[in-house]
Structure 1
Amino acid sequence: MKRKIILFAAVAFVLNLSAQEKQKDTINSKEELSEIVITGTRTERVLSSLPLPMTVITSEAILKTGVTRLNEILNEQTGVILIPDESGFEGIQMQGLDAAYTMILIDGVPLVGRSSGVLDLSRVSVGNIDRIEIVKGASSALYGSEAMGGVINVITKKPKKDTFSGALSYRYATFNTNNANANLLWKKKKFAANLFADFYSTAGYDLDKNSPLKNVESFYNYTIQPKLYYDFSDNLKLTVSNRFYNQKMDNPAIIDAKSYKGEAKENEWNSQIKLEQKWNSKLYTEYELYATNYKNDSYLNDENNVAFDKAYYNQWLFRPEVRTTLTINKDKLTAGVGVNYESLDRTYFDKNVKFNSQYVFVQYDYNPADRWNILAGFRYDNHSEYASQLSPKLAVNYKVNDNLSLKGSVGYGYKAPDFRQLFFDFTNPAAGYSVLGYNVAEDRLNQFESEGQIASRVQGISFDKPLNAESAVNFNFGTFYKKNKLRLDVNAFYNSIENLIDTRVVATKKSGGNIFSYFNTSKVFTYGLEFNSTYSFTKEFAVSVGYQYLTAKDEAVLDNFEQYQYIRNSKLETIQLNKSDYFGLFNRSKHTANIKFAYSIPVIKTDVNLRVFYRSKYGLFDTNGNAILDKYDKFISDYFIANLTASKNITDQLFFQLGANNLLDYKDPSEIPNLAGRQLFARIQYNF
């Protein structure tokens, strides 16, 4: 590893000595004051006037961090925490809501392939990203299910000038991690094209040398993303976009002290066709057809190479949609209609299950005066498997003066029951328990009973009514201030979630194992405060500070606290708890913070970027037997992570970078398996 880093440095030094061209100073380039965003309203809007809590990550900011995957750059944002699930995938937590409640989009269309509600964000490379738009809070009024907690839209680069341009990049890092990509852009008159290709491989890492299994096994993946553009005229434009992703990973296992080997494969395909038609200066329509397929197949063989286990996952989504925007003076009326067709065939489903839904949404962007902006809208979803949903939203922005604005919003969001919660049919042969989806539970319980396997069924439980969608009411109120060297963004939020879907015991087997199914049970709430600020001391030196305070609790625990108020400590003494001793939901930290230093050295055309992140303590399990997380439980201690990057423009076209993620080498193998320790990297990029 050290030899390769030294080789990188030597090559950069020689190129620097031999460079005769005038160097390009990108260090002092400023972000445009009026950034145009689209995710919050599905129309182009100036970020500062948007009445919603929103963050934009630019391609320049991504480049200076040196990261390569989507999960890495999101983990550096205030109020965005990546939480690993039991599969090791890292899912987004925003405003205290789990990954299942955040919709992930690429160029406005959704990704599929969630494991227990978690989408593997490392599937997405950042090599061709123009910007990332993060909308926090209920967004179901525009995007439907999975957007109850917010939306993250990855917007890729597109050709802008009549020329051929692009970038070639290679990055080497600890754990023999290699990432090479090429992004090629070409435009000539009415025709334009973009081709992005990315290859990523790693040997994985092992934090516990006493175990034969690694925390992350070796794997490689590649992404190919071609896009074509054709302008029939100034008023009629066509976009055809495809994305292909393939990954192979070693898949060893230890089961009952026996070793097994295998392989896991992922394949993803996305295709989008969009036609944009401008009827006149006031009327604009988009026709969009989107299809995507995600497959995951894995197997295990024993020591004699005999098949032991196989698993598969095959999900399809097909979605046509039409959107129209009518400009009325200063205002915009947007309406859309679409259809979702989904199917999933996977291990432990007795059949290929299908969903279909029809939806319509309307939004009015109203500007009654120069200082006021009012955004009102709703979406109606008619679904084949659960009750129809109406999702309204209202947001207001008031510009106090040229520097200060106030904004507030209230919205209703929902999360539909997923395929697993409705159709899962799994029995663990070793432990003896079963998990049944709501829609198949009654028939399977009757079958178990006819086979003489049931000892008792829980009284009062029926599956007569459909499982309801989870629903949330979300409030945001904040302020945005920008003057001279200071930029400040503050947002307070509150979420109240009803009909939370959770598992419950429905029967006990004669063998002693329980049978679980899914039900609408709890009501939870989250509230907190988010703070972001940037101060530019000079043109060369700026500091950014971010902080989030979060409280997340189960209302049923507070309402029935007498069921949870006694515990036994390590000395077997009985302790009575107060409500104030209830810490809240699992895997939530009350405090997260970051501080970022950006320093430019114009003389040598170099950027230095230091980011420090803090997460306060949090609990993963109930460790004292009262079924909640209280202050006497075992917690994962608070910790700091520091990332350091140094970037240099050697010539107009050549860019070199060195960095260290987790600079302080913080590790907690038993509790935080996704923290791999210090990772050094070097990167070289050629722009043309």
Structure 2
Amino acid sequence: MLRLFYSIAISLYIISGVHTTYAQEITGIVQNPKGNPIESATISIEGTTLKTSSDAWGKFTLAYNADKANLFIRAVGYQPLQKKLSKEDFSKQHTFALQEDNRNLEEVVVSGTMKEMSKLDSPVPVEVYTAKFFKANPTPSIFDALQNINGVRPQLNCNICNTGDIHINGLEGPYTMVLIDGMPIVSGLSTVYGLSGIPQALIERVEIVKGPASTLYGSEAVGGLINIITKKPNNAPVLSADVYGTSWGEVSTDVAAKFNVGKRAQSLFGANYFNYQNPIDNNSDNFTDVTLQNRISIFNKWNFDRKDNRVFSLAGRYVYEDRWGGEMDWSKAHRGSDEVYGESIYTSRWEFFGTYELPVKEKILFQFSANGHDQNSYYGDMPFMADQYIGFGQLNWFKTLGKHDLLTGLAYRYTYYNDDTGATVNASHTHLPALFVQDEITLHPQHKLLLGMRYDYNSIHGSIFTPRLNYKWNSIDKNNVLRLSIGNGYRVANVFTEDHSALTGSRKVVFEEDLKPETSWNGNINFVKKIPAGSSFIGLDATAFYTYFMNKIIADYDTNPNEIGFGNLNGHAISQGVSLNIDVVFANGLKILAGGTFLDVYSEEEGEKVNQLFTEKFSGTWNAGYTFKNLGLSVDYTGNVYGPMRLPLLSEWDPRNEYSPWWSIQNIQLTKSIGDKIEVYGGIKNLLNWTPNKGNPFIIARSHDPFDREDGSFDDVTGEPIVSPTNPYGLTFDPSYVYGPNQGIHAFLGLRYTY
């Protein structure tokens, strides 16, 4: 494989030429329909590798030496614009007005290759979801907002504290890397808690890459990555607010404001506050159905104007959360005691990150981040106290040589982690320097090849090498795009994120061996087709994927109901499937985005095939919206559907279903515009009133005896549960039988203000 990479790269370097110096300039201003400037629009010339971006005032300059140019202008949330210019037009100042567009097919993306480019031009398939997409189903956190994206599923891991992670194509949360503005902010401890409290008023878009991205982003990007792109201060409204409440008593508030400091600095400030303090027990197990939360998050981002439009931005976020779930009569006085069972978590988290473009002729970016996470929690009478600090720095050098767009990077990440469990005897200090190289080769306007490789040296696990290869073909009109990808991924285990139920107080963590890093090989085929149909439009996006894992780390729930065993698989694991997204925009304004994913995820050891826990065979999502323009009224109908998934049972007598049923969460929303600044919205969530207790005698095992005290229920010597009159199913207290939210049907009402 290495010889193939090197031979292809060397051959293409020899064949390719280097651009000459251009004397003429094309200048212009990019605006929206209201005449406001559009920053970071991408301007390129067909048939060349020349491109640039508009500045904060929408202005751009592009050097070009020819008799004519076919100009393409693209920006997030707008329809692409094509303009043919003659040599006489080059010296004129042009104004280009872009029309708004929600089809998400020509948007600018950065996650696949670490540089801005059109979604259709990217050799790596990237899915883009704008802020408008998430407004169709308002939620208090980005964790919940991802539920209507095909192939992405927020998975609850505990019936009591309601913590969770994000599954991509059936792979659990530890395989998903979450970035904020390209920075690896959310990882380790914060994978479980850090997805809450990102103010949605500040989100420009969310980019999702499915499949290994370890070549560029390193460990934790095996299953894919989610990159949350925040708004630039210049593009944000002066003031915006979004407040809503639900019939369960939840209140969520998002506020954002921008301001200028002098002539060269712009700042964007945002705050999110979520409060829910209404214990409800609709399934009658004496435990709260939904965790009570009190959370505040503050975000501040700065952009600084510099000479030659060089980049300099800084951002920071602080999150504090107090959440608890447990028996209905639990109070703060019971925290950490064995009188009344409750799970109480105090989370304090800070983040700081930024990007600085070096003042040199070459384009070199320095990206940096630091974050600290303090966890103070009790699961019943079992404490879990943990601290994590991460420092990250990365230099990216972008260089264009003829048909080659090169990216070379040096990265370093330091991680400090310590907790009070038996799994962590001493605090760990992990050093992770890395070097990566990427070459995007334009073989032809219709053909691109992407070669990449990364070398990491983990201070604990040693050297790790991850290569990748991507190929893209598109038709002349770009209505058909085919992508082929193959890549390697790796992941280093973090016990806390491996399985949160290890900390519920109900099971003991057992390590069968020293855990080795997982490695995987992934291949996928992606095909995108655009079908213009008069004033209507149809977009198809289909992908087939296959991942083969070595040394996979699997939690063993089955051997001992009192333990969770962690060890490397002595065999292999497979994740494979197909997915399809359909995007339809009708001439009358009706818009439908629907998708479905078929999954087959299993492990095989000593000839025995075992389906992965908490993994559905099929999932589907949809988002349908229509606007009555004469009334200023929009209707959004959103939902998802999931097929059966295998669930952990505690004994052969456990009466709960081994597989979940088919289930679906559906929502409807009405939005009324009042002038240009105000929107009032409301609707109903979970229209079918579905909850996971339906069809099951109970969800939480032995909820009446959370400290396992009843005499005759457990063996006096081994402590194992035994079948007895007081324990007829031979169970122990356990809240890990969870696959969906416990919140039934509820109404919501909100208001948005934008100035």
Which TM-score applies when normalising by structure 1? Answer: 0.80
Residue 119 of structure 2 aligns with which residue?
A: 47
Q: What is the CA–CA distance in structure 2 between the aligned matches of 1:287 and 1:429, rounded to whole Å?
A: 43
Identify which of 333, 340, 356 aligns with 1:275: 356
Q: Does residue 1:326 correspond to 2:353, yes or no? A: no
Residue 657 of structure 1 aligns with which residue?
A: 681
Q: What is the CA–CA distance in structure 2 between the aligned matches of 1:429 and 1:583, rounded to whole Å?
A: 27
Q: What is the CA–CA distance in structure 2 between the aligned matches of 1:516 and 1:164, rounded to whole Å?
A: 51
Structure 1 spans left out of the alignment, 5+ residues: 1-21, 302-307, 440-466, 562-581
Q: What is the CA–CA distance in structure 2 between the aligned matches of 1:249 and 1:257, rounded to whole Å?
A: 19
Instruction: Evaluate the alpha carbon distance shift between residue 233 and residue 164 of structure 1 in structure 2; reply closer, same or farther with a 3 A threshold.
Output: farther
Q: 1:212 Cα shift?
A: 3.3
Give yes or no for contact 2:200–2:254 (8 Å, CA) kept in 1: no
Deviations along 1:383-432, one digit per CA (max 9) or x if unpaired, are: 1111311111111110123111111100100111326699x9x999998x
Instruction: Evaluate the alpha carbon distance shift between residue 537 and residue 279 of structure 1 in structure 2; reply closer, same or farther with a 3 A threshold.
Output: same
Q: Does residue 1:381 correspond to 2:456, yes or no? A: yes
- Considering Cα pairs closer than 8 Å and 6+ residues apart, tell me whether 1 or 2 has the greater RCO: 1
Residue 615 of structure 1 aligns with which residue?
A: 642
Q: Does residue 1:147 correspond to 2:221, yes or no? A: yes
Give yes or no for contact 1:261–1:300 (8 Å, CA) kept in 2: yes
- What secondary structure does 1:127 align onto? helix
Q: 1:486 Cα shift?
A: 0.8
Give yes or no for contact 2:233–2:301 (8 Å, CA) kept in 1: no
Between 187-196 and 168-177, report the one with greater CA deviation: 187-196
Identify which of 503, 513, 518 aligns with 1:470: 518
Q: 1:269 Cα shift?
A: 0.4
Instruction: Evaluate the alpha carbon distance shift between residue 269 and residue 221 of structure 1 in structure 2; reply closer, same or farther with a 3 A threshold.
Output: same
Q: Does residue 1:634 correspond to 2:658, yes or no? A: yes
Q: What is the CA–CA distance in structure 2 between the aligned matches of 1:474 and 1:180, rounded to whole Å?
A: 41
Residue 300 of structure 2 aligns with which residue?
A: 226
Identify which of 466, 471, 479 aligns with 2:527: 479
Instruction: Evaluate the alpha carbon distance shift between residue 551 and residue 217 of structure 1 in structure 2; reply closer, same or farther with a 3 A threshold.
Output: closer
Residue 590 of structure 2 aligns with which residue?
A: 541
- What secondary structure does 2:124 align onto? coil
Tell me the percent identity: 22
Give yes or no for contact 2:189–2:373 (8 Å, CA) kept in 1: no
Q: Does residue 1:105 correspond to 2:179, yes or no? A: yes
- Give the residue type in structure 1 aligned to 2:603: D
Task: Map residues 167-316 of structure 1 onto 2, 5 A cutoff.
Answer: 167-187=240-260, 189-203=263-277, 206-208=280-282, 210-250=284-324, 252=326, 258-259=339-340, 263-277=344-358, 279-280=360-361, 283-299=362-378, 309-316=382-389
- What secondary structure does 1:258 align onto? coil
Give yes or no for contact 1:64–1:609 (8 Å, CA) kept in 2: yes
- What secondary structure does 1:49 align onto? coil
- Give the residue type in structure 1 aligned to 2:492: A
Q: 1:610 Cα shift?
A: 0.5
Residue 363 of structure 1 aligns with which residue?
A: 438
Q: 1:210 Cα shift?
A: 3.4
Between 29-38 and 132-141, report the one with greater CA deviation: 29-38
Q: Does residue 1:595 correspond to 2:622, yes or no? A: yes
Give yes or no for contact 2:379–2:505 (8 Å, CA) kept in 1: no
Instruction: Evaluate the alpha carbon distance shift between residue 503 and residue 674 of structure 1 in structure 2; reply closer, same or farther with a 3 A threshold.
Output: closer
Q: 1:591 Cα shift?
A: 1.4
Q: 1:362 Cα shift?
A: 0.8
Q: Does residue 1:407 correspond to 2:480, yes or no? A: no
Give yes or no for contact 1:58–1:131 (8 Å, CA) kept in 2: yes
Residue 569 of structure 1 aligns with which residue?
A: none
Give yes or no for contact 1:378–1:391 (8 Å, CA) kept in 2: yes
Residue 488 of structure 1 aligns with which residue?
A: 540
Instruction: Evaluate the alpha carbon distance shift between residue 514 and residue 121 of structure 1 in structure 2; reply closer, same or farther with a 3 A threshold.
Output: closer
Deviations along 1:259-309, one digit per CA (max 9) or x if unpaired, are: 1568421011000132113644xx3111122110111102489xxxxxx55
Give yes or no for contact 1:158–1:185 (8 Å, CA) kept in 2: no
- Give the residue type in structure 1 aligned to 2:280: D
Between 128-137 and 343-352, report the one with greater CA deviation: 343-352
Structure 2 spans left out of the alignment, 5+ residues: 1-33, 35-77, 79-98, 331-335, 694-698, 700-737
Give yes or no for contact 1:608–1:644 (8 Å, CA) kept in 2: yes
Instruction: Evaluate the alpha carbon distance shift between residue 421 and residue 105 of structure 1 in structure 2; reply closer, same or farther with a 3 A threshold.
Output: closer
- What secondary structure does 1:75 align onto? helix
- Give the residue type in structure 2 aligned to 1:678: I
- What secondary structure does 1:533 align onto? strand
Q: What is the CA–CA distance in structure 2 between the aligned matches of 1:481 and 1:515, rounded to whole Å?
A: 46
Q: What is the CA–CA distance in structure 2 between the aligned matches of 1:247 and 1:273, rounded to whole Å?
A: 25
Give yes or no for contact 1:141–1:412 (8 Å, CA) kept in 2: yes
Give yes or no for contact 2:186–2:195 (8 Å, CA) kept in 1: no
| Count of aligned pairs | 595
Q: 1:43 Cα shift?
A: 0.6
Give yes or no for contact 2:572–2:603 (8 Å, CA) kept in 1: yes
Instruction: Evaluate the alpha carbon distance shift between residue 497 and residue 300 of structure 1 in structure 2; reply closer, same or farther with a 3 A threshold.
Output: closer
Between 357-366 and 245-254, report the one with greater CA deviation: 245-254
- What secondary structure does 1:212 align onto? coil
Give yes or no for contact 2:238–2:258 (8 Å, CA) kept in 1: yes
Between 202-211 and 381-390, report the one with greater CA deviation: 202-211
Task: Map residues 500-539 of structure 1 onto 2, 5 A cutoff.
Answer: 500-502=552-554, 518-539=567-588
Deviations along 1:224-267, one digit per CA (max 9) or x if unpaired, are: 11112212312433211110000112355689983156842101
Between 643-652 and 85-94, report the one with greater CA deviation: 85-94
Residue 199 of structure 2 aligns with which residue?
A: 125
Q: What is the CA–CA distance in structure 2 between the aligned matches of 1:386 and 1:62, rounded to whole Å?
A: 40
Q: What is the CA–CA distance in structure 1 between the aligned matches of 2:320 and 2:497, rounded to whole Å?
A: 27
RMSD of aligned alpha carbons: 3.3
- Give the residue type in structure 1 aligned to 2:586: F
- Give the residue type in structure 1 aligned to 2:289: N
Instruction: Evaluate the alpha carbon distance shift between residue 55 and residue 368 of structure 1 in structure 2; reply closer, same or farther with a 3 A threshold.
Output: same
Residue 442 of structure 1 aligns with which residue?
A: none
- What secondary structure does 2:311 align onto? strand
Give yes or no for contact 2:188–2:497 (8 Å, CA) kept in 1: no
Task: Map residues 420-439 of structure 1 onto 2, 5 A cutoff.
Answer: 435-436=510-511, 438=513
Residue 101 of structure 2 aligns with which residue?
A: 30
Q: 1:520 Cα shift?
A: 4.7
Q: 1:34 Cα shift?
A: 2.5
